[in-house]
């Protein structure tokens, strides 16, 4: 810097001041203030331009990132071994199930702890609902119809809303854990309580998909099942890939349309695994639940990496 204090900026003709960043043109040697260099896009003396930095599109969230990035700055996905390359359609289901099993066995204690915590939270919610008020009260409706509650209707509504939001908050954390394990990233029990940043989009997506699936089911159960299959990736797209509810629904439909056979096969296998887990006194879901959840996150990442939409 000291050797350039007698020079002036080739762009604005202002003096070079101590401590003020400068850039020396590698072509003609002209001196420019760093701000002038960046504002002009290069040297205003000889016309030399900086070559643009290489960019690429993240295969998971589709955002533009630096060409040499190994972690996406938008969705935090690891890009060192993007899934989907060199893998046929017939191997997608098997790869997802292997990822689910690997994710479970690598952190079996974590999954058991999450299961036990979930059971404890359900029991706590039931005890609170049962013992919040000391006695039943009768609330009459029209034409002599009535119902009994331990709490006033307004209190019951607030309590139910609180339980619902707490459940959604924990589900966001669970999706984060499953997505991290599917990506080969570390996962901790504390992530279960990190769902605040994606809670509102997740709640919106849950309401949209739930309402749509319910309306479709009322038309015909087969249509309802089809809607649930086409929207299977929405939670992972919202939480792990940062999409909004409507965008996540659209992308999920596109991914399923482009890979319907593979997605349908995985959904059928996943439903069988969950059914087996429930049949085993519910305890089997300690194993089958994480396998299906991590496998779904892995399949979602895999299909995103293949998608050019």
- Per-residue pLDDT reduced to its tens digit, 211-235: 999 999 999 999 999 999 999 999 9
> If you ran DSSP here, which 8-state letter would residue 195 be given?
G
What confidence category does residue 34 fall into, taking pLDDT thresholds of 50, 70 and 90?
Answer: confident
φ, ψ of residue 71 in degrees (nearest 5): -135, 130
What confidence category does residue 160 fall into, taking pLDDT thresholds of 50, 70 and 90?
Answer: confident
The dihedral built from the CA positions of residue 168, 111, 276 and 121, taken in this order, carries a sign that is negative
Q: Nearest Cα to 22, choosing from 40, 7, 34?
A: 34
φ, ψ of residue 147 in degrees (nearest 5): -150, 160
pLDDT > 90? residue 198: yes
Of residues 197 and 83, more confidence is placed in 197
Q: Which tokens hold the place of 231?
A: 């929207």
CA distance 46 to 169: 58
* 3 state SS of 123: helix
Percent of the chain predicted with pLDDT > 70: 74
Of residues 259 and 21, more confidence is placed in 259
Q: Return all residues near 166 (Cβ < 8 A) that are at least 6 apart.
A: 121
Of residues 140 and 187, more confidence is placed in 187
φ, ψ of residue 20 in degrees (nearest 5): -95, 120
pLDDT > 50? residue 59: yes
DSSP-H helix ranges across 135-259: 153-182, 199-219, 221-230, 234-239, 245-258
Cα separations in angstroms, 207 against 46, 49, 112, 156, 204: 59, 51, 29, 20, 5
φ, ψ of residue 49 in degrees (nearest 5): -120, 145
CA distance 21 to 9: 11
pLDDT > 90? residue 127: no
Q: What is the pLDDT of residue 53?
A: 54
What confidence category does residue 152 fall into, taking pLDDT thresholds of 50, 70 and 90?
Answer: low
Of residues 85 and 140, more confidence is placed in 140
Q: Which helix (H) or strand (E) holds 111?
A: helix 108-131
Arithmetic mean of pLDDT, 77-88: 52
CA distance 16 to 234: 55
Arithmetic mean of pLDDT, 241-260: 93
C-beta atoms surrounding 131 within 10 Å: 9
pLDDT > 50? residue 134: no
pLDDT > 90? residue 81: no
Q: What is the pLDDT of residue 3?
A: 42
CA distance 178 to 297: 7
Arithmetic mean of pLDDT, 14-18: 72
C-beta atoms surrounding 212 within 10 Å: 16
Q: What is the pLDDT of residue 21?
A: 77
Mean pLDDT score across all residues of the chain: 81
């Amino acid at each position: 810097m000291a050797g350039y204090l007698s020079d002036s900026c080739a762009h604005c003709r202002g003096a070079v001041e101590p401590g003020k960043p400068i850039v020396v043109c590698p072509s003609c040697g002209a001196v420019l203030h760093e701000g002038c260099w960046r504002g002009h896009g290069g040297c205003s003396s000889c016309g030399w331009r900086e070559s643009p930095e290489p960019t690429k599109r993240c295969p998971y969230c589709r955002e533009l990132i630096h060409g040499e990035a190994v972690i996406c700055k938008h969705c935090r996905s690891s890009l060192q071994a993007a899934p989907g390359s060199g893998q046929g359609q017939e191997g997608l289901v098997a790869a997802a199930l292997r990822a689910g099993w690997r994710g479970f066995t690598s952190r079996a204690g974590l999954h058991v702890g999450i299961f036990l915590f979930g059971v404890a939270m359900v029991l706590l919610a039931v005890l609170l609902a049962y013992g919040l008020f000391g006695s039943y009260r009768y609330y009459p409706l029209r034409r002599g119809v009535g119902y009994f509650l331990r709490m006033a209707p307004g209190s019951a509504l607030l309590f139910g809303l609180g339980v619902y939001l707490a459940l959604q908050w924990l589900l966001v954390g669970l999706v984060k854990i499953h997505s991290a394990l599917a990506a080969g990233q570390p996962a901790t029990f504390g992530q279960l309580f990190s769902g605040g940043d994606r809670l509102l989009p997740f709640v919106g997506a849950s309401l949209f998909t739930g309402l749509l699936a319910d309306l479709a089911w009322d038309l015909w159960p087969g249509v309802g099942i089809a809607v649930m299959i086409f929207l299977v990736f929405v939670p992972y797209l919202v939480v792990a890939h940062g999409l909004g509810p409507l965008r996540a629904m659209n992308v999920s439909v596109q991914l399923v349309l482009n890979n319907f056979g593979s997605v349908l096969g995985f959904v059928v296998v996943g439903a069988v695994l969950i059914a087996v887990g429930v049949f085993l006194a519910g305890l089997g879901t300690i194993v089958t639940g994480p396998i299906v959840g991590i496998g779904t996150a892995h399949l979602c990442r895999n299909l995103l990496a293949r998608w050019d939409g």
